[in-house]
Amino acid sequence: LAKTTQPISMDSYEGQEVNITCSHNNIATNDYITWYQQFPSQGPRFIIQGYKTKVTNEVASLFIPADRKSSTLSLPRVSLSDTAVYYCLVNTGGFKTIFGAGTRLFVKA
Amino acid sequence: DSGVTQTPKHLITATGQRVTLRCSPRSGDLSVYWYQQSLDQGLQFLIHYYNGEERAKGNILERFSAQQFPDLHSELNLSSLELGDSALYFCASSERSGSSADTQYFGPGTRLTVL
């Protein structure tokens, strides 16, 4: 099962773009990369998922280089309400789902 | 709102007791997953069911058991409760059998407090 490594915490200011990088060196050929956001005492919320290159939706972009050993979640123009824990997850498919420790993002005014 | 519902929202009980947590997946989803999250801890995968059958097991204690019913709702049973079982328990659902492209949608959780 692919293990993920993310920074433990990050600080930013409102209006800035935030990039959170996750490394997953032993990602397998069929694995997808998924990012979740979690607020205290709430269930994780799906943000974005990708397999390769770039994926963009209304809230974020996900950049995955050709070797797929890492991925970067990009949050444009963050606000105070983006303060949360962000989890990078490698979907191995059909097996245990292993969440890492996540990245605590703190957005300051 | 993810479409996944969990009941009850809060549960307070005593050591040695048994409780049942309930989860209803999103409409159309066949997979249900259970997770435990202790205070300031990450999400620990417990178990995954697909269309009524167990698909994968994580670090689920023998005192814990789960099942998924024909209507696809799931129950997590926790028995002989200990203080350390106090945690948030999340249920998630996905459309398929847990393929690598499956996205899990999480419920609001049940907060269990064991006194």
CA distance B108 to chain A (A): 5
CA distance B109 to B113: 13
Q: Quick check: A106 contacting B, CB < 8 Å?
A: no
Q: Fill in the amino acid letter for A99.
A: F
Reduce the DSSP state of residue A80 to 3 states and report it: helix
| Contact state of A34 with B103 under an 8 Å Cβ cutoff | yes
* pLDDT greater at residue A96 or residue B44: B44
Q: Higher model confidence: residue B103 or residue A96? A: B103
CA distance B4 to B84: 26
Summary mean pLDDT of chain B: 93
Q: Residues A8, A101: contact at Cβ < 8 Å?
A: yes
**Average pLDDT of span B72-89:** 97
Over the stretch B36-55, which tens digit does the pLDDT of each residue have?
999 867 889 999 999 999 99
Q: Residue by residue, what is the 3-state secondary structure of chain B?
A: CCCCEEECCEEEECCCCCEEEEEECCCCCCEEEEEEECCCCCCEEEEEEECCEEEEECCCCCCEEEEECCCCCEEEEECCCCHHHCEEEEEEEECCCCCCCCCCEECCCEEEEEC
Q: A50 in contact with B at a CB cutoff of 8 Å?
A: no
* pLDDT at position A95: 64
List the single residue in A with minimal CA-CA distance to B31: A94
The 10s digit of each residue's pLDDT in A43-66 is 999 999 999 999 999 999 999 999
Tokens at B111, concatenated? 């907060």
- Contact: A93, B101; criterion CB under 8 Å: yes
Q: Which residue of B has its CA nearest to A29?
A: B100
Counting residues of chain A whose pLDDT is more than 90, the rounded percentage is: 73
Which amino acid, one-letter code, is at A57?
N
| Disruptive mutation site among B10, B32, B43, B94 for chain A (greatest number of A CBs within 10 Å) | B43
Segment B12-39 shows an average pLDDT of 95
How far apart are alpha carbons A68 and A63 in whole angstroms?
9
| pLDDT-based confidence at residue B100 (cuts at 50, 70, 90) | confident
Tens of pLDDT along A57-90? Answer: 999 999 999 999 999 999 999 999 999 999 998 8
* Residue of A93, A31, A98 whose CA lies nearest to A68: A31
CB contact under 8 A, A94 and B56: yes
Question: pLDDT value at position A36?
Answer: 95
